Each structure stands twice: as structure tokens, then as C-alpha cells.
Amino acid sequence: MTRRRAAFLILVAWAGALGWLVERSYLGRRGQDRLSLWPVPPGSAYHAIRIGDRQYGLATFTIDTLPEGLRVTELVTIDLPPLQPKSPRRTSARVEALYTRGLQLVRWQSDLLTESGRSAGSGIVSGDTLLTVVTAPRGEAPETLSVRLPRPVILPSAIPLVAASRGLPKPGSRLNLAVYDPFDEEIRLERLTVAAESVFTVPDSAEFADALRRWRVAHSDTVRAWRINSVEQGLPVSRWVDAAGMTVRVQHALGATFERSAFEIVNSNFRALPPPLWDSGVTAPRFLVTDGNPAPRRHLTLLARLIPDRPIPRVVPSLEGGWQERVGDTLRIAPSTEADTGSQPLGTVDLLTRVDSSIAMAAAHIVGNEERPEWVARRLSDWVGRAITLRSGPADFSARRTLSTRRGTAAERATLLVALAHAKGLEARRVWGLAAVNGRWELRAWVEWRSAGGTWTPADPSSPPGQALANRVRLATGGEPMLLSLALRAARLRLAVLEGTP
């Protein structure tokens, strides 16, 4: 074979290989279903959960590619203030979900472990139109709920994946996603805004330092990320997401910060730390959910203080509106006669408060011929407080289940009150926040209904009839009042009473 012929054959082989590559990578995709392509690559990310300068927990996020789709696993664990000295106290939440290659939710499993018990849940999406959810708290019979979906939904952990799968974000672009929260059991429309672009230096490997007896950064990587702003239950959240859909940093306006780092630094160093020192002052939230009744007050003025390195954001929707007014760092809580334009976010579907025939019949029996909205709300609240026996344990059941069993947690009784109010045509919503009990701020769930004057007015079945409810601070609209949510979303909040009139 001559050199000329050999060179010609090599050139032909090279051209053929190049043509095959172009056809496979570009031309061949025109005839393929775009859902057959992986939207994001597999990988893992580890985050240190910090409140101030101290690590209080950790979070892991894993993406696996499987023959049947994309498996996304998220685990969040955080320490809580101990009730007794040398008694560790921890809560965790784990969610494992399966998506198609087009990031359409197929099924998931959730597991919430708290001091009140363990609550497991699972769900499946049939044909993108039917969502079926099964909740099974330990020691209780499971409950199954179904709802028709107007559009495909994802779980909160997949928000960064969807943002990255649609190409490199551009500052100023917007994205609306229907998100189902497996712990709050509500579908809400998340309105995301790409606010900025930046470069982060993130540790990606670690080495053990014998002198320090801890792991330290061995190598760092430069990561390009985009800040995606959103509002969840009235609280602002900022996420920095890279091009692979992995979260680099998450900042809650009043709470914790997630910072990505190497596995050994996030996990091993955290386990070697001594128990964290929590603020035990009367202005700090107390990580308890009790049945104690707050002392009645006609009005209450508070000073909201944060750790100095982070001021309160200029706009926090959940802290404002109706009976709760905010001016700078001051919250004034008192009956309001001014109309409030705020409402439950559009597109929100609460699986737990849906009205059926049993709830409608119960509401009609309780209210009778009464038509005045304030008296309708009072009668419903008083009846729930009398007829529904208070129980302890995780709060996961629907209003229908609570009505049929005549027992429920404080959060479940609030859920039932919302459903009864909806059955009588009142606009009502679940909220949670802090209530002053015996001089300390404790986690509490209650209800707000929109009065005839257009303002949100609080109601709580756990409070005695006729008691004023000016001794509590709304932190979030919708969802369940979990200690994990309090630690992540509002652990930095400090509340000092300036004045209060019993």
C-alpha cells in the first residue's frame, strides 16, 4: 500500500467518524424524543447548615441516573436546643423521589423524624393528572388523599434541577413552577426570579489535620452559580444554583444558611463538634410545641431583633398585613380595621383542607342560620375547640379525618377550622408562628380568616372562647408548624415585648 493510499484511507475514516459524531449529536436528535436525554448529570452535594457562625446541622443532596429515570434524594438533619442538660435533641427529614428524563414526577417517599414521633408518606403521579398521597404516622392508621392536577408538579428539592435543565439562566428571567410539598401537603405555584450571577470558591476535597484533629480543605473548585429568589409561605428564600442543578448556597431571610462543602468537612467535623449553645433568652424562639394557652391581650407591640450581621429584609410578606403591622424592625399586633390586599398565593391547593359533604354538613349544623362572618368564624372556632379532643403526635391528617375521629393535634384542629370556614364561604388560611406562653415564645399553629372589612383576623381553636389573640406573631402562611421549619426559616428571629395591655 502506497503512502498516498494510506493517507487517503485515514482521511476517509476520519471524515466518516466526524460525520457519525455530528449525526448522533445534532442531526439524530431531531428524530428523538427530548425526554430521552438526561436533563442534569448525576452527582452529590453536601451542605453545612449554619445559624450565625455555628454549624447546627447538615444536608445531603444526591442525583442518580437509573434505567427508569432520575432518582433525587434529599436529607436534612438539624440539632435542636436540649430540653435537659446533656440530652441531645435532633430532627430530620428525608425525601426520595423518582422523575422521568423530562423531570416529570413519578413517585416519592418521605420520612419525618421528630420528638413527637415518626411520620412516613408516599405518593404517585398517574399520567401527570392524578396525584395520590398516602400518609402513615407511627401508631395511626394510614390515610389516602387524591387530587386532580391542573399541571405537572415537582417536589421542592427539584427546583434547582428544573432551573438548570432549561439552559444557563439569565439574570432577570422568570420561572413559574407547580411544587408539591410532601410535609405541608399543599400544591403551590412558586414564582422564581433569576436575580444575579456570581462565581463561588467551593471546597471539593478535604484532608485530615492531625494537629487540629479535624478535616480541612485540601482542594477548592471555582463554581459559576445563579441566584434564584422566591417566596415560600411568605418568607423570602435565595438559592445559588450551578449549571448542573446543584445548590451552592441557600439563605433563609430570618433563619439558617446552607453552604456547600466537602463531605468530611460537612459530616465528620460536625459530628466531632460539642453540643451547640443555643440562645435561651426570653426574646429567642423556644423550640417547643405545647398546649399552654397564651395570656389574653388587647394589643401587643414587639421589637423584632436579629443577629447584627444580617438585617431584616425590606419585604417579608408573612410578617405584614391584617392585624400584624411592621415598620422597620417593629411589629405592632392589634385588631385592624384596614383592608388587606394580601391573600393566599394564587394556584395554592391544600390537600388537607378540601371540603367534602361531611364537612359541609357539619359546618351547616354548627352555624345554623347565622350569616354574619365574624359570628360564623367564632362559632366554628368554638365548636372545634369543644368537639375535637386534643392529641399529641405528628400532624399529618386531613380535615375529613379529624372530623370523623373527633381528635387531632393543634395543627389538625386548625386545618379542620379552615375547611369548615371554606364550607361556609369564608376565605381562610393556615398560618404558623410564635405565641407568648408563660413569658416565652413557642411554636403554634392557628387560622386567619378574611373579615367583611377585608382584613385577616386570627382564630385559634386551642384558645378559650372570646380570648384576644394579640399575643402571637405570624411567621409563615400555610403549611405545618414543624420545629425543623422554625429552625431553618426563623431561628435568628428575636422578639422583645415593648408594651402590652392585658
DSSP letter string, 288-322: ----PPPPP-SEEEEEEE--TTSPPPS--GGG-BT
pLDDT for residue 216: 92
pLDDT for residue 32: 43
Residue position matching grid coordinates 391528617: 397
CB 303 within 8 A of CB 323: no
State whether residue 222 is helix, strand or coil. Answer: strand
CA 425 to chain centre: 28
pLDDT for residue 440: 87
pLDDT for residue 97: 97
Please state, in angstroms and as integers, the Cα–Cα distance from residue 284 to each residue in 55, 257, 320, 485, 486, following that order: 18, 18, 20, 15, 12
Half-sphere exposure of 447 (CA within 13 A, CB side): 33
Please state, in angstroms and as integers, the Cα–Cα distance from residue 433 to each residue in 46, 77, 234, 462, 485, following that order: 29, 21, 12, 14, 10
State whether residue 412 is helix, strand or coil. Answer: helix
Start-to-end CA distance of the chain, whole Å, equals 105
pLDDT for residue 347: 58
CB 472 within 8 A of CB 457: no
Q: How many CB atoms lie within 10 A of CB 438?
A: 11
pLDDT for residue 327: 86
The domain 285-501: what is its CATH number? 3.10.620.30
Q: How far apart are the C-alpha atoms of 329 and 320, rounded to whole Å?
A: 12
Q: How many CB atoms lie within 10 A of CB 144?
A: 11
Q: Which helix (H) or strand (E) covers residue 358, if one does?
A: helix 357-367
Q: How far apart are the C-alpha atoms of 96 and 122, rounded to whole Å?
A: 9
The parts of the chain modelled with pLDDT lower than 70 are: 1, 20-36, 291-292, 296, 308-309, 335-347, 395, 465-468, 500-502
**What is residue 183's DSSP assignment?**
T
Question: Taking the model in full, what pTM does it have?
Answer: 0.86
**What is residue 30's DSSP assignment?**
G
Q: How far apart are the C-alpha atoms of 35 and 128, rounded to whole Å?
A: 14
**What is residue 352's DSSP assignment?**
G
Q: How many CB atoms lie within 10 A of CB 412?
A: 29
Nine cell digits for residue 294: 397564651
CB 204 within 8 A of CB 219: yes
Please state, in angstroms and as integers, the Cα–Cα distance from residue 182 to each residue in 131, 339, 386, 396, following that order: 12, 33, 30, 10
pLDDT for residue 205: 92
Q: How far apart are the C-alpha atoms of 92 and 112, rounded to whole Å?
A: 6
pLDDT for residue 401: 93
pLDDT for residue 34: 43
pLDDT for residue 197: 93
The ranges assigned to domains in the chain are 43-272, 285-501
The string over 167-184, giving b where at least 16 C-beta atoms fall within 10 Å of a residue's C-beta and e elsewhere, is eebeeeeebebbbbbbbb
**222 CB contacts (<8 Å, ≥6 apart)?**
199, 200, 201, 202
Q: How far apart are the C-alpha atoms of 284 and 441, rounded to whole Å?
A: 7
**Phi-psi group of 494: left, alpha or beta (phi > 0 → left; psi -120 to 50 → alpha; rest → beta):** beta
Between vectors from CA 469 to CA 465 and to CA 472, what angle results, nearest 5°? 140
Rg (CA), the chain: 26
